[in-house]
Structure 1
Amino acid sequence: MAASKPDASFHSKHSNHHESMASNWTLSVAVGMLPHLSPITSTSYILDNVCVTGLVTDLLKSHYPALRMFGTDATPGTIEACDSKIATTKWFDTITSSICDSRTLTGIENESFTHVITNFGFPPDLTDRCSPMKATREMWRLLKPGGMADASIWKVEAAARRISPNERPYAWTLPSDWSDAGWLQETKAEIGFGDNVTVKQIGGSASTESLERLVANMMCDKGMFCKGHSEEEFDGMAEVLGEELKKWEAWYEDEEGFGIIIDSWVAFATK
């Protein structure tokens, strides 16, 4: 089956419902990160790297209203959604945003930030297998001495394997160990963080009012994570995905709805 690349405008196209697509998963991991961050003070300045719609910014500002933050993302649509959200809050004068690729954060001075947070924005792009190293090098460059860089990674592939068992499920070209804790630690260490890297397992959860809604949310990502599939294969994917989700030991169903607990690896690296 011929490989296909996801639409480059995918994130812009889905920017207005990115958070519902993630079914609170990325938010739950961001909440889990908070206790492990180095202290946030009145002089802290934080980069929400690959901020998408500003979920991490929104979370941190709810805890630290006076905190200065800078959000970056390579996709105009997501920055527009982030800016729209900021404009409706009382925090607009302490948040700046810019359209920037995480591998080349052009226009931002060295040693600008006390924290750089990259929440599920770490995998390589379509053509550049070295992008994790480039993004990490930028994190190092932008951190003040003593500052902390945080990055999270994840993995879901069972449903795509069932549909096309001989195909790699990702439309991206990814290192084989991109979801491994050791790879995340080594990537940080090699750039300059050395032994000052701690990788923690943080549990996140994707939850909605029903299994059907969770599947529908996840299917919004189908073109990005399942390459080369025909429309006929996609037609049957929702049913397969639902079956695979209920095979996980970590799924749950209660009066509030259906959810799955999904572990993530998060690196906390100090400069």
Structure 2
Amino acid sequence: MDEVEVVVAHSERTTLRVGDMFLKVDAQRERIAVEAEALALAPVPTPEVLWRKPSVLALAAVPGTALGRLGEPSPASPEAWAAAGAAIRTLHGAPLPPWPGRSADGLTAELERECDWLLAHEVLPAELVTRNRRIAEAALRPWEPVFVHGDLQITHVFTGGDDEVTGIIDWSEAARGDALFDLATLTLGHEERLGDLLAGYGTDVDTDIVRAWWSLRSLTAYRWLVQHGFDPGAPGCELDVLRAAS
């Protein structure tokens, strides 16, 4: 290996790839600690921890291919999505991690703060923000906490040629939380794959709440994405999710 690949880099954290090893460097040491403990507790395929320093976590690459990318059609089969649903169900059925997660009250305050910023800076049309905020509020109800991944983006779930989950990566946001938040995060921008995911998840799910989480996540993440060099207005990404909400 004669080069270092920068996988993602911004002011909070950087991930580098060197051969089959990933180095995660985080400005917040507690996120490294949470990720290491979550990897040890999660009852699903995860990367092997090679070593850990206070601000750095070295992980082995997982086999397989990610389910897809935000803004692009998923190339994964319905069976692969169903396998992902089954793995997430296993995670949600596991004992709770010992640290807490975000509360509905905290998320309510965050939603208000981020919507106010979007409106004050005229980043999005007022009607779009207002409509999606109304939809998002449905997610802010009491829920039974489960072991959630917390950042279950489509690029974080890998499956192999036999349509089995081979690895789930990036556990720094793992905590106690709402099961439907994980399902919504994975299907953000891929509404057409929600049925395949739920076929494997294997329990009744209120899809209106999943849709509420799509709006809530898109609204609350918008400022962060803009300020860290990402483009939520790219085709198929957060802006399109907000436009499609009804």
TM-score over 0.5 (shorter chain)? no
Q: Say which structure is richer in helix.
A: 2
Q: Say which structure is richer in strand.
A: 1
Provide TM-score, normalisation by structure 1. 0.29
Provide TM-score, normalisation by structure 2. 0.31
* Larger-Rg structure: 1
